[in-house]
Every structure is written in structure tokens, then in C-alpha cells.
Structure 1
Amino acid sequence: MDPDASTQRPARRKHSKALKAQILHACDQPGASVAGIAIAHGLNPNMVQRWRREVKRGELTLADTPAFIPVVATPAPAMLTPPSAPAAPLAIEVQLQRGALQARVSWPVQAAGECAAWLRELFR
């Protein structure tokens, strides 16, 4: 018996970013089982959990992963409002849907910073 044969490890597999993105997208669906998805793809569930943590920390970037895009809202100058139209209070409208859950939030523009902080916490 070859002594080196018992100590050899199988070669490490490298997974493409496209496959990782596909698996992680499937894990993000409502009611999805990370372990079930991992096993269905012939992967250890711990590996998929590690990919999820790496994406969350920004250590793993995938081509299809949506990135946070900061938006700066500034009120429109008053001269652009037609004089005949009544001045409506400016508000930030946010509509969210995840599965059957739907939410609509109206936030005053004057508190745009608090709205951004709330959204960051919501998507954390």
C-alpha cells in the first residue's frame, strides 16, 4: 500500500461567481432552506453559509449582487412649481414587498437622513 495514498486529499473545487450568485439568490427566496439548496447542488451547507457571510461583509462580490446606491434628495426650487398649483409637502415614498408581506412608507423629505438610516437597518 502506498503511504502517500492515505494522506492525499481530493482536489479543491473552485466554484464560479455565477454559480455562487445562483445559489445565494435561491437561498434568499422566502421559505428557502439553505441546507436543502446546498445539498441539492452537492455542496456542504457550511460552505454556502460562509458565502452568505462573506457577501454580507463585502468580502465576496458577485456580478449579479445588487449594490447599495446612495441617493441624495434635494428639494426642488420653488420657482419650478407653477404658481397655480398648490404646494404639496414633499415626501419620500418607499414601497416594499417580500412574499405576501407589503409595506408602504411615506417619510418627510426634511428627515431624509433618518429615512436612510432606517432603510440601512431594515436591510441589514
Structure 2
Amino acid sequence: MKTVTGIAEKAPRRQHERSFKAELVEQCLVPGASVAAIAMAGGINANLLFKWRRDHLRTEQMRGSASSSTVLVPVRVAPSLDGAEELQPVAMSPVPPPTAVATQRVVRSTGVIELDIAGAQLRLRGPVDEASLCSVLRALRQSA
């Protein structure tokens, strides 16, 4: 046998089936589950399982942000007391609660955001969730 020195061969990466990944991730999502114990039982590194779970949650969150839980409400422009025009809701129909719970980081803010876009003025006060703001901006951009 001939040996070549100076060249290190890497062991090939293991490739896991999607069904195997999905099964382990589902086990991790059970409340109280130990990711380290599940990884050990599956014969993989816990860090890899944490990555698979993180990727799964990101994918689910992206699907959830595009879902029907974000609703645009029709508004009418009415003058306010100071003479400036203000947007007021026309009618609100009851919105069913979302079916899936998405993990979101909530940022509390007491600030004000004012935008002039496509001939419309948008004023947001207090905390604003990112998905709703993206939907409104997307709708304004499409109407321009």
C-alpha cells in the first residue's frame, strides 16, 4: 500500500434523510423535551439538532407572516382637530384568532413613525408588529 504524506483526507459529511430530521425536530418541539437527549438517542450532535430546529422555526415563522392573520382594514381620510388629515378605520369585522402560534420577539416602543408614501401619510404610534407593517407598506407600494 502506498501512503501519500502531507494530504489530509476529510471524512465525508453524513447526509440525513428529511424524514429523519423532521422526526427529531418534532420531538424537540414537545414542551419539556430535552434536545440533548433526543440528539444523543438519534446519534447526532446536539448543536446540529438545534440548527435543524432553528431552521424549522424560521420556515414556520415565514409561512405564518404571509398567512391570513394579518388583515388590512379599509380606512377613510377625515380632518382632525388640528386641521391635518387623519386615517380612521371604516369598519372592522371580527378577525378569527390565528391557528398557529408563531414565536416572535416583541419590541415595546412608545415612539411614533410617520411616512409619506405614494401620496398617503402613514402615522404609527406605540408598538407595531413587523408583519403588519410589512403588509401595509407592500400594499402602499403596489397601489403607487
Task: Report 1 or 2 for greater relative contact order, CA contacts < 8 Å, sequence distance ≥ 6.
Answer: 1
Larger radius of gyration between Structure 1 and Structure 2? 2
User: Which TM-score applies when normalising by structure 1?
Assistant: 0.48
